[in-house]
């Protein structure tokens, strides 16, 4: 079909709002004779007047051809082969146009093979690990044999069939994510009606919603995230498909879901998203155990505490404050964990510390089939909750100093302040004293998912 094309004079996208690194990639591919577009969420955000968090490129060059164009490029992915062009402060992801059979997640949603997941890893740093391809690996042929679908669930597990720009547009999840920006003439290319949907401010699924949700269940919560963060409405059939297919979320990768929930927490629209989860039925599938407790056991004060926690997460986004992963998950789950903690203490056979520890890991176990919370994060959540009583203990300077040097102190203090606010039990003198002591605490340590290599890239082991 012929696409709708907006010439430069008819749209608001300007190169001054596009990453210089992304422009470098686009121009280089164009100079080498390849077609190269900006694609997906970055074009959507630019059209809406927002600043994209990252920039993705699509091209008719294969991953190996992209690699030959850039010395600072590596190929990643087992489920989907992608090229990462690495700059000092940014990674530009470059994907080859995909054929219509594709159903991979958009933008940064790349997922590992199901057989590569290792639930229970204590030091899991990300939800989707990719294996760097050997430089000598031959370029894969674009054959239909590369498409693997789970016959029971309908979820596409592997797909490396390359296609045309039109096919690539129609295999994307929503029309507003299928727009292309052509660096050759600075035009916007629309194959699926994304421009009209952006103007109408609606999220519309491309193709049959029920089938697309079966292929990739995470599309359902992506629809909710786009609607809540961009202040859009979900189109009627797209919304009805979520309600009828929400059970498919049980087939989504639980490791990937951990990261997806974090995106909601950092979106600035968590309160609105939570309401949509409840309305569509997604909440019951995504949070087994939590949803039952919330509907049947939670008191009004516990529900109010959670509402204020969601609002607090949104306020942090407004003020450009990013909570740690453990603090964000603690705010979401604290009322439930504390309820389980009280029950275990009331049984009388566990110490308060052991009761808290068991409560945290019981909650983790209830969620593990849907959301894989790493044990490292679970232990830190225990630290934040159990050590709240330490703030009432200022008996000696030595005890205060030891507490200040605990790695979780800053997050624990934030939780203590929030608790006082949410429970309407202000403790201004105590909070002021700890806030003053905070100046003596060591600076927060930055976590890194990679070992320190003193600026050098680790040597790669040769394959035998």
Q: How many domains does the chain have?
A: 3
pLDDT at site 13: 96
452 found inside a domain: no
Mean pLDDT on 351-361: 96
Q: What is the DSSP letter of 162?
A: B
CATH code of 207's domain: 1.10.110
CB 359 within 8 A of CB 344: yes
What's 19's domain CATH number? 3.30.460.10
Point out the domain boundary residue: 200, 219, 249. 200
Q: What is the mean pLDDT of residues 51-79?
A: 93
- What percent of the chain lies above the pLDDT cut of 70? 82
pLDDT digits (tens, 9 = 90+) for 161-212: 889 999 999 999 999 999 999 999 999 999 999 999 999 999 999 999 999 9
Output the pLDDT for position 101: 60
Per-chain mean pLDDT for the chain? 86
Q: Looking at the structure, tell me whether residues 63 and 166 fall in a common domain.
A: yes
Q: Which of 45, 60, 168, 173 is catalytic?
A: 173
pLDDT band (50, 70, 90) for residue 145: very low
* Mean pLDDT (whole number) for 386-397: 92
Q: Which residues pair with 84 in a beta bridge?
A: 74, 93
Q: Which two tokens stand for residue 154?
A: 């309908």
Q: Assess whether 129 and 243 both reside in one domain.
A: no
Q: Is residue 448 part of a domain?
A: no
Shared domain for 165 and 23, answered yes or no, is yes
For 39-55, b/e burial (b = at least 16 CB within 10 A) is bbbbbbbbbeeeebebb
| Domain contains 33 | yes
- pLDDT band (50, 70, 90) for residue 80: confident
Report residue 411 as tokens: 């997050």
Q: Out of 54, 108, 292, 419, pick the active-site residue.
A: 54
| Confidence band for 117, pLDDT divided at 50, 70 and 90 | very low
Q: Would 462 be classed as within a structural domain?
A: no
Strand partners, 37: 58, 182
Residue 325: CA count within 13 A, CB half-sphere: 21
Q: Which domain holds residue 237?
A: 201-263+271-276
Residue 41 shares a structural domain with residue 119: yes
Query: Please, which pLDDT band fits residue 441 given cuts at 50, 70 and 90?
Result: confident
Residues 58 and 132 in one domain: yes
Considering only residues 215 and 133, tell me which one the structure prediction assigns the higher pLDDT.
215
Q: How far, in Å, CA of 314 to CA of 271, rounded?
A: 7
56 flagged as catalytic: yes
Average pLDDT estimate for 218-231: 96
In the predicted structure, residue 120 carries a pLDDT above the cut 60: no
Strands 91-96 and 56-59: parallel
Together in a domain, 48 and 149: yes
Q: Does residue 235 surpass a pLDDT of 50?
A: yes
More confident residue, 106 or 14: 14
Confidence of residue 349 (pLDDT cuts 50, 70, 90): confident
In the structure, what pLDDT confidence band is assigned to residue 125 with cuts at 50, 70 and 90?
A: very low
Residue 103 confidence class, pLDDT cut points 50, 70, 90? very low
- Are 187 and 210 members of one domain? no
Judge contact between 189 and 223, C-beta under 8 A: no
**DSSP characters for 111-158?**
---GGG--TT-TT---S---PPPPTTPPPPP--GGG-EE-TTT--EEE
- Distance, CA of 330 to CA of 91 (rounded, Å): 30
User: Is the pLDDT confidence value at 85 over 80?
Assistant: yes
Task: Select from 276, 308, 329 the last residue of a domain.
Answer: 276
The tens digit of pLDDT for each residue in 290-334 reads 999 999 999 999 999 999 999 999 999 999 999 999 999 999 999
Average pLDDT score over residue span 253-271: 95
Asked if residue 56 is part of any domain, the answer here is yes
Residue at 446 is within a domain: no
Asked if residue 11 is part of any domain, the answer here is: yes
* Lowest-pLDDT range of 101-105, 129-133, 379-383: 129-133
DSSP, residue by residue, 327-380: HHHHHHHHHHHHHHHHHHHHHSSS-HHHHHHHHHHHHHHHHTTT----HHHHHH
Q: Give the global pTM.
A: 0.81
Please tell me whether residues 254 and 337 are part of one structural domain: no
- Shared-domain flag, residues 3 and 151: yes
Answer yes or no: do 121 and 210 share one domain: no
List 45, 56, 168, 182, catalytic entry: 56
**Dihedral sign from CA coordinates of 310, 315, 316, 320:** positive
pLDDT beyond 50 at 264:
yes
Residue-wise pLDDT tens digits, 148-171: 555 555 554 445 688 999 999 999
54 is catalytic: yes
Burial class (CB in 10 A: 0-12, 13-18, 19+), 199: exposed
Residues facing 57 on adjacent strands: 38, 94
CATH number, residue 386: 1.10.3090.10
Active site residue 45: no
116 and 181 share a domain? Answer: yes
Rounded mean pLDDT, 101-121: 40
280-290 pLDDT, tens per residue?
Answer: 999 999 999 99
Domain boundary among 200, 234, 250: 200
Q: What 3-state class would DSSP assign to 441?
A: coil
The Cα–Cα gap between 218 and 256 comes to 9
One domain, residues 174 and 205: no
**Per-residue pLDDT band at 452 (split at 50, 70, 90):** very low
The continuous run of DSSP H or E covering 67 comes out as: helix 63-69
Measured in degrees and rounded to the nearest 5, phi and psi for residue 4 equal -85, 130
**In the beta sheet, which residues pair with residue 85?**
73, 92
**Structural domain includes residue 460:** no
């Amino acid at each position: 079909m012929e696409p709708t094309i907006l010439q430069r004079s008819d749209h608001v996208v300007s190169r001054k709002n596009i990453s210089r690194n992304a422009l470098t990639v686009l121009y280089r591919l164009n100079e080498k004779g390849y077609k190269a577009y900006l694609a997906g969420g970055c074009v959507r955000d630019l059209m809406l007047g927002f600043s994209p968090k990252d920039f993705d490129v699509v091209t008719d060059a294969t991953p190996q051809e992209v690699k030959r164009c850039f010395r600072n490029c590596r190929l990643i992915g087992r489920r989907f082969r992608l090229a990462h062009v690495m700059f000092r402060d940014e990674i530009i992801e470059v994907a080859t146009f995909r054929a219509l059979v594709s159903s991979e997640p958009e933008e940064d949603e790349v997922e590992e093979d199901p057989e590569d997941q290792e639930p229970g890893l204590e030091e899991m740093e990300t939800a989707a690990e990719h294996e760097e391809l050997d430089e000598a690996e031959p370029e894969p042929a674009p054959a239909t044999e590369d498409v693997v679908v789970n016959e029971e669930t309908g979820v596409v597990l592997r797909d490396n069939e390359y296609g045309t720009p039109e096919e690539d547009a129609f295999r994307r999840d929503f029309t507003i994510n299928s727009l292309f920006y052509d660096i050759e003439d600075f035009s916007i290319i629309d194959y699926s009606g994304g421009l009209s949907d952006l103007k109408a401010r609606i999220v519309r699924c491309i193709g049959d919603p029920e089938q697309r949700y079966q292929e990739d269940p995470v599309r359902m919560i992506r629809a909710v995230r786009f609607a809540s963060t961009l202040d859009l409405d979900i189109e009627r059939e797209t919304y009805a498909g979520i309600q009828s297919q929400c059970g498919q979320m049980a087939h989504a990768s639980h490791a990937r879901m951990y990261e997806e929930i974090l995106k909601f927490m950092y979106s600035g629209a968590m309160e609105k998203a939570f309401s949509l989860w409840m309305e569509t039925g997604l909440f019951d599938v995504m949070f087994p155990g939590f949803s039952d407790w919330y509907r049947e056991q939670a008191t009004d004060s516990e529900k109010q505490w959670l509402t204020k926690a969601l609002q607090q997460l949104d306020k942090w986004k407004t003020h450009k404050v990013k909570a740690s992963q453990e603090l964000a998950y603690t705010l979401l789950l604290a009322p439930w964990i504390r309820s389980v903690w009280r029950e275990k203490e009331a049984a009388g056979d566990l110490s308060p510390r052991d009761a808290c520890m068991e409560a945290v890991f019981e909650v983790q176990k209830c969620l593990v089939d849907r959301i894989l919370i790493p044990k490292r994060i679970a232990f830190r959540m225990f630290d934040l909750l159990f050590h709240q009583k330490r703030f009432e203990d200022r008996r000696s300077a030595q005890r205060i100093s030891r507490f200040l040097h605990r790695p979780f102190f800053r997050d624990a203090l934030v939780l203590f302040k929030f608790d006082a606010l949410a429970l309407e039990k202000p403790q201004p003198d105590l909070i002021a004293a700890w806030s003053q002591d905070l100046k003596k605490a060591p600076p927060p340590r930055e976590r890194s998912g990679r070992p320190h290599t003193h600026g050098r890239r680790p040597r790669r082991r040769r394959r035998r």
